[in-house]
Structure 1
Amino acid sequence: MTAFRIMSLVVAVAFQLMLLVGGGQASNNTKNCKLGTEYEKEQAALKLLEPLTNTTYSVTEKVGEESYTYLFQVCGDVDGVKGGGLVQKDNNKKTVVIGRYNTTQAIAGSDWVMLTYGHGEKYDLHCSKEKRRAIIMISCDRNVAAGPLKVVLENRERAEDCFYLFEMDSSAVCPVLSSKLSAGSVLLIIGFCCLAVYLIGGFLYMRLVVGAKGVEQFPHYAFWSEIGNLTADGCDFVCRSRGNRQAPPTYTGVATEPLGEEPEERDDHLLPM
């Protein structure tokens, strides 16, 4: 197994881990909810709640001597009740369907989603015996994946349009933070990651496969130990001229021996006779 194959394996494993970490929304369980209208905004709001599916959230409320337990699921059958998205159980374990997910409305704001389940069981005496309705307000909280379910109120003292109101916190509905990293920072991070993969993969290969010891465990040690000389040779090749140079003009030295005496010139013939 070569160092290249080991590095490729490390990169592949890291990529799979990234998929596993970021793949929490790979399923599409929210499709079980039936929207009254197929608006894209409602579908987008409902998709934000995908990480909250397949989990039952509960809360118990005491009213006088009575206590009621409310069970809630996002687009799923809660407590085995077919189509029941939110149900109520009293002290006698009697189950009342507050809202069904086959009649769902989803509205999203900047950092919240309001989920409404309709077509619950009818009131016995209140609200003109209309069908119950549950409203779950899910607000942004980046510190929790899904906070506890809370009962806000049961509004049944009206002739119609009564509802149960619940709230909970979740990071799933938080807006995506824009990245503050510049392109240069991203490139540096990628470069450091590639360097780390190269060093770790090469070290493991040299130690476990080749059996190297000491500094020989460093990947491509012979190459990196000569990098200084190679850089100097490249700089010398690029920066220094290799053309023929003319030799500087030379000067003959002055003789140090005394010159011979010149014959004395006679000027007697210039005198008048």
Structure 2
Amino acid sequence: MLSWRAVIVLILLAGGGQASNNTEKCKLSVDNTHEKKALALLEPLTNKSFSVNYTDATDTYTYIFRVCDDAGGVKGAGLIQKDKTGKNTLIGSYTDTQAIAGSDWVMLIYKSGEKYDKHCSNEERRALIMMSCNRSAVEAQLSVIREQREKNSDCFYLFELDSSALCPVIPSKISTGSILLIIGFSCLTVYLIGGFLYQRLVVGAKGVEQFPNYAFWSEIGNLSADGCDFVCRSRGSREESPAYRGASTEPLEEPEERDDHLLPM
């Protein structure tokens, strides 16, 4: 039986392993793979609220923006405008979204905002939020670029947001050999430190005997020399082939000495 502590840990691990999908709250105007991938890049910016104060020739406004979530607590609003009296104006809804992505940027377009009263032929407002990579941006900051409402159609609010969360991952420049060397040195360090502590604290060794496997390493020089001697030195006669020496390898027979002349006649 698992203890209640183990059950809690397993539940937390299971929950932590699930991928976040907050961008799925956005409803794409055109449901396609490219726009879904563009939205997925914005996942690190979800569950956050971004706001900025902006003053034009007539009034001061506060713009509140959220990625695929209710901005300012307004249901379905991706970006709202709040005036000094606290009145909210829906600039764009995340239920009508378009997303375009580049190498290090994402353009998020919220449509279906409230209609203009006197401008842009009373068409619906829409917000364009240009989000770009900025590695030095610790906290993403929202800024107002402009409001285009002097046309009869296709008016928009343009915003900019820089964040390091949109920066592509820089590939590692460490070569495979360097990685293997780092792993090797790390393993060697663990072996030496762990062996030293074991010899000292468990075995009770003193002096050089604390070195792990001291007997083996003390003989490593002799073993290396023996191996080199076995591989590099030949053992046996180095007699040249007859083809090179020009003579037979068999010993020449000496002429038989005759001593007949020493016998008495």
Q: Which of 50, 53, 66 is the matching residue for 1:57?
A: 50
Q: For 1:112 and 1:25, how far apart are their aligned partners in 2?
A: 26
Amino acid at match of 2:123: E
Q: Any stretches of 5+ residues in structure 2 without a counterpart? A: 1-15, 240-265
Distance of aligned partners of 1:96 and 1:31 in 2 relative to their CA distance in 1, 3 Å threshold: same
**Deviation for aligned residue 1:172:** 2.8
Say how many residue pairs are matched: 224
SS of equivalent to 2:141:
coil
Change in Cα spacing, 1:123 to 1:38, as seen in structure 2 (3 Å) is: same
- Aligned-pair CA distance for 1:43: 1.6
Match for 1:42 among 21, 35, 38? 35
CA contact (8 A) 2:38 2:100 kept: yes
2:102 corresponds to 1:87? no
Give the alignment partner of residue 168 of structure 1, picking from 161, 173, 176.
161
Kindly provide the amino acid, as one letter, of the partner of residue 27 in structure 2. Answer: K
Choose which of 161, 164, 180 in structure 1 pairs with 2:173. 180
How far the C-alpha of 1:135 sits from its partner, in A, is 0.5
Instruction: Give the Cα separation in 2 of the matches to 1:192 and 1:242.
Output: 39
Partner residue in 2 for 1:190: 183
CA distance in 1, matches of 2:169, 2:38: 14
1:47 alignment partner AA: A
**Does 226-235 or 46-55 show the bigger shift?**
226-235
Q: Tell me whether 1:130 sits opposite 2:123 in the alignment.
A: yes
Change in CA separation of 1:41 and 1:199 when aligned onto 2, cut-off 3 Å = farther
TM-score of the aligned structures, taking structure 1 as reference length: 0.68
> Comparing both chains, which one has the higher relative contact order based on Cα–Cα distances under 8 Å and sequence gaps of 6 or more?
1
Pair 118,177 (structure 1): closer, same or farther in 2 beyond 3 Å = same
Q: TM-score, normalised by structure 2?
A: 0.70
Provide the rounded CA distance (Å) in 2 between the counterparts of 1:89 and 1:114: 23
Equivalent position of 2:95 in the other structure: 102
Cα distance in 2, alignment partners of residues 94 and 158 from structure 1: 25
Alpha carbons of structure 1 residues 97 and 182: separation in structure 2 relative to 1, 3 Å: same
Structure 2 letter corresponding to 1:82: K
Change (3 A) 1:70 1:237: same
Give the aligned residue type for 2:28: L
The answer as to whether partners of 1:30 and 1:46 remain within 8 angstroms in 2 is yes
Q: Structure 1 residue 92: deviation in Å?
A: 1.4
2:88, 2:205 → 1: CA distance?
Answer: 70
Q: Residue type of the partner of 2:164? A: S
Q: Which runs of 5+ in 1 are unaligned?
A: 1-22, 247-273
Question: What is the distance in 2 between the residues matched to 1:227 and 1:190?
Answer: 23
Identical positions, percent: 67
Which residue, 20, 27, 30 being the options, matches 1:27? 20
- Cα root mean square deviation, aligned: 3.2
Contact kept, 8 Å, 1:52 with 1:146, in 2: the verdict is no
